[in-house]
């Protein structure tokens, strides 16, 4: 079907009529209709090119020819479920295992990050025979019922917290209770987990798992302080639970120095379960939960088969293998470090220039710019962030915001992002911060003012 079957207005109208309104669009007041993409660029129906700064799914670049070819070639030959032997599945598991700590050696292929996390929950509960879960405040782990329950980012807006879910403070050294001037924020935040476990035990609750995104992204692009994972794992395992690292957004070399973001905490650290998805198939739905032999054995011990119709099919695995090939052959991890460091350097200059840039934090091509109204108080500049991303769109740059206050501009571009791209974005941000945002009043009617400015652009 041609992408131009309908005019933009017709597409929007049909979408409004046919698609559940809770499925949101970026820039709802003027959505972008995308008809093709290549590398780090997406193109609208008029042929206008936008620089994509947020699509961490098109990891090695939109429509990468090597990935497209791998899908096509395998599609021509066979696609079926995992009840037959096939080389692609075992080859892919073998290749992935080389990136992981040795103990993480059993693979369950699924179709989405949510499925991977739901399975991680089942694995943890079966292995530990416990039920409860500890999660970070503001975390998001997926859209299934089980995962909404362990996602404060969602459940706070719904029925609330289940009695088997325990929430600990986000290890945020910029805005959280223990900040950059604390002598050991990692230990202090881990101690919050210990306190949470003690409290759960007092109520006769037993911990099955601690779930954490290796770099909390929805929660505001947080870099957990050193030593946090090791200490938390010690407390959680001491309570009979397991440590689950959600790498669904941040895995596959995005952090540059390592293939997995949990490895930023030290080569000695290994979770008990790792979940991955989004970038894994460069846009094709493939995901995975990986665990230890002991945990997998306990799961097998139920005697119940785990069957997933599409998970691990030959086409998905061919695509997964092609993604790994491209990461390696195009040296994308090295590039993530080079380009990421350069972008951080440019953004830090903006921090000295513009009072609104409160914090610039990141690693590799995972970068957040925390906007504040007041440097001292670190008051989130939420409306301003919303305004800036709309202005950036007018400069043909697509970014969005994250964090509990929606004031963190997030950069998670495809890994083929260049230094020129980074400079283009930061120059545009500089222009916007200089020319427009500084004139905004800090009054309650700011949103109206912002809307006004947007409509005259
Ligand atoms: C950290 C994290 N975990 C899990 C998920 C769920 O993945 P999916 O949407 O593929 O089900 C997401 C999706 O945004 C996510 O960001």
Please give the DSSP secondary-structure letter assigned to residue 24. P
Query: Is 74's C-beta closer than 6 angstroms to any atom of ligand 1?
Result: no
| 371 SS3 class | strand
d(CA 271, CA 230): 9
Q: 47 C-alpha to center of ligand 1: Å?
A: 30
pLDDT, averaged across the chain: 94
pLDDT, position 453:
46
Q: Which domains does the chain have, with CATH numbers?
A: 8-63+331-455 (3.90.1150.10), 65-329 (3.40.640.10)
Weakly modelled stretches of the chain, pLDDT under 50? 1, 437, 441, 443-445, 448-449, 451-457
Query: Is 213's C-beta closer than 6 angstroms to any atom of ligand 1?
Result: yes
Q: 245 C-alpha to center of ligand 1: Å?
A: 13
Nearest Cα neighbor of 393 from 51, 23, 28 is 51
| Minimal-distance CA residue to ligand 1 atom 13 | 142
| Minimal-distance CA residue to ligand 1 atom 7 | 113
Strands (E), 349-429: 357-363, 366-374, 379-380, 397-398, 400-402, 408-411
Q: What is the pLDDT of residues 44-94, one digit of tens each?
A: 999 999 999 999 999 999 999 999 999 999 999 999 999 999 999 999 999
pLDDT, position 4:
84
**pTM above 0.75?**
yes
Q: What is the pLDDT of residues 355-392, one digit of tens each?
A: 999 999 999 999 999 999 998 899 999 999 999 999 99
d(CA 17, CA 443): 37
Q: What is the pLDDT of residues 385-413, one digit of tens each?
A: 999 999 999 999 999 999 999 999 999 99
Q: 115 C-alpha to center of ligand 1: Å?
A: 9
| Minimal-distance CA residue to ligand 1 atom 8 | 113
Tokens of 261: 């973001």
Closest ligand 1 atom number to CA of residue 117: 4
What contacts 327, CB < 8 A, 6 or more positions away? Answer: 59, 60, 252, 253, 333, 415
**Cβ atoms < 10 Å from Cβ of 277:** 27
d(CA 99, CA 210): 23
């Amino acid at each position: 079907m041609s992408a131009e079957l309908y005019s933009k207005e017709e597409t929007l109208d049909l979408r409004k009529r046919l698609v559940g309104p809770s499925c949101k669009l970026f820039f709802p007041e003027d959505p972008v209709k995308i008809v093709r993409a290549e590398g780090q660029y997406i193109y609208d129906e008029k042929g206008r090119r936008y620089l994509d700064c947020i699509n961490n799914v098109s990891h090695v670049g939109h429509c990468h020819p090597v990935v497209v070819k791998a899908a096509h070639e395998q599609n021509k030959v066979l696609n079926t479920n995992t009840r037959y032997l096939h080389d692609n599945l075992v080859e892919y598991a073998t290749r992935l295992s080389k990136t992981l700590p040795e103990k993480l050696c059993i693979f369950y292929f699924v179709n989405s990050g949510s499925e991977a996390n739901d399975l991680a929950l089942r694995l943890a509960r079966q292995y530990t025979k416990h039920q409860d879960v500890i999660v970070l405040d503001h975390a998001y782990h997926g859209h299934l019922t089980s995962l909404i329950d362990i996602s404060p980012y969602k459940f706070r807006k719904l029925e609330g917290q289940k009695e088997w879910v325990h929430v600990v403070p986000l290890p945020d050294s910029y805005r959280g209770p223990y900040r950059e001037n604390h002598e050991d924020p990692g230990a202090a935040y881990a101690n919050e987990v210990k306190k949470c476990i003690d409290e759960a035990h007092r109520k006769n609750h037993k911990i099955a798992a601690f779930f954490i995104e290796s770099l909390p992204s929805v929660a505001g692009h947080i870099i957990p302080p050193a030593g946090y994972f090791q200490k938390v794992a010690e407390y959680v395992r001491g309570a009979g639970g397991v440590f689950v690292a959600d790498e669904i957004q941040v895995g596959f070399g995005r952090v540059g120095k390592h293939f997995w973001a949990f490895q930023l905490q030290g080569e000695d650290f290994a979770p008990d379960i790792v979940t991955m998805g989004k970038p894994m198939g460069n846009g094709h739905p493939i995901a995975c939960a990986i665990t230890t032999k002991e945990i997998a054995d306990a799961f097998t011990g139920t005697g119940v088969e785990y069957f997933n119709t599409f998970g691990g099919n030959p086409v998905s695995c061919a695509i997964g293998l092609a993604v790994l090939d491209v990461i390696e052959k195009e040296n994308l991890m090295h590039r993530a470090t080079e380009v990421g460091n350069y972008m951080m350097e440019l953004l830090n200059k903006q921090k000295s220039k513009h009072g609104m840039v409160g914090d610039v934090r990141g690693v590799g091509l995972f970068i957040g710019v925390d906007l504040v109204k007041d440097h001292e108080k670190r008051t989130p500049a939420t409306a301003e962030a919303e305004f800036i991303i709309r202005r950036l769109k007018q400069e043909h740059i697509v970014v969005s915001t994250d964090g509990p206050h929606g004031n963190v501009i997030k950069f998670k571009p495809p890994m083929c992002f260049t230094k020129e791209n980074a400079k283009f974005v930061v120059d545009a941000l500089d222009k916007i911060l200089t020319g427009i945002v500084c004139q905004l009043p800090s009054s309650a009617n700011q949103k109206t003012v912002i809307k006004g400015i947007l409509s005259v652009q």
